[in-house]
Amino acid sequence: MIYIIESLVQKNSTINKWIKGQPCMLVQDGQLNIKGLNSNHVEMEQLRTMMRQQNCFSLKEAKYVILETGGTISVMRNEEEDAVLTILLIDEGVISEKALLSIHQTKDWLLDILKEEGQSQVTEIAYAEWSREHGLYWKTYAESVKEPYKIDG
């Protein structure tokens, strides 16, 4: 049975992609690929955990993040960014009250910063993180990748 499947996979690229899958670009040129995250059932916290395992502690540090067919990720970092620990404050338009408490801040503090930067709708924010060194960093759904690169095949 394994021999037959391997033979089919080697001879037919469509079957190969269907059985083995193909890599997916989750971050491309520093922009989130929301569609890729959703289609691969990867939540923001899972992405952050996998990135930390690759010594990348912030989406701001990531230039490219690729979800490989085996379920691991590959990360290419922006050279100019220093590694810092960040706290996830907004995940898919929802503010994390516990995260705000952990940094001794309030929801009003967060909303004020966003408003000062011209961002009035929290529901439009795909991701927001905070670090002591760099402050608040976020990406909106509008800033997410529309057409991701096809890495293989």
Query: Does a structural domain hold residue 67?
Result: yes
Q: What number is the average pLDDT over the span 30-48?
A: 93
114-134: per-residue pLDDT in tens? 999 999 899 999 999 999 888
pLDDT band at 103 (very low <50, low <70, confident <90, very high): very high
**Which one-letter amino acid corresponds to residue 87?**
I
pLDDT band at 39 (very low <50, low <70, confident <90, very high): very high
pTM of this structure: 0.68
Contact in structure between 88 and 102 (CB atoms under 8 Å): no
**Predicted pLDDT of residue 35:** 93
Query: Does a structural domain hold residue 148?
Result: no
Query: Does a structural domain hold residue 120?
Result: yes
Query: Does a structural domain hold residue 112?
Result: yes
Q: Phi and psi of 105, rounded to 5°? A: -130, 170
**Domain containing 58: what range?**
2-143
Pairwise CA distance, residues 77 & 100, whole Å: 27
**Predicted pLDDT of residue 110:** 96
Average pLDDT, the chain: 87
pLDDT band at 10 (very low <50, low <70, confident <90, very high): confident
- Domains of the chain: total: 1
Query: Does a structural domain hold residue 152?
Result: no
**Predicted pLDDT of residue 54:** 94
Contact in structure between 67 and 35 (CB atoms under 8 Å): no
**Predicted pLDDT of residue 17:** 66
Query: Does a structural domain hold residue 150?
Result: no
Q: What number is the average pLDDT over the span 62-88?
A: 86
Query: Does a structural domain hold residue 36?
Result: yes
Pairwise CA distance, residues 96 & 86, whole Å: 13
CATH number at residue 62: 3.30.240.20
Query: Does a structural domain hold residue 122?
Result: yes
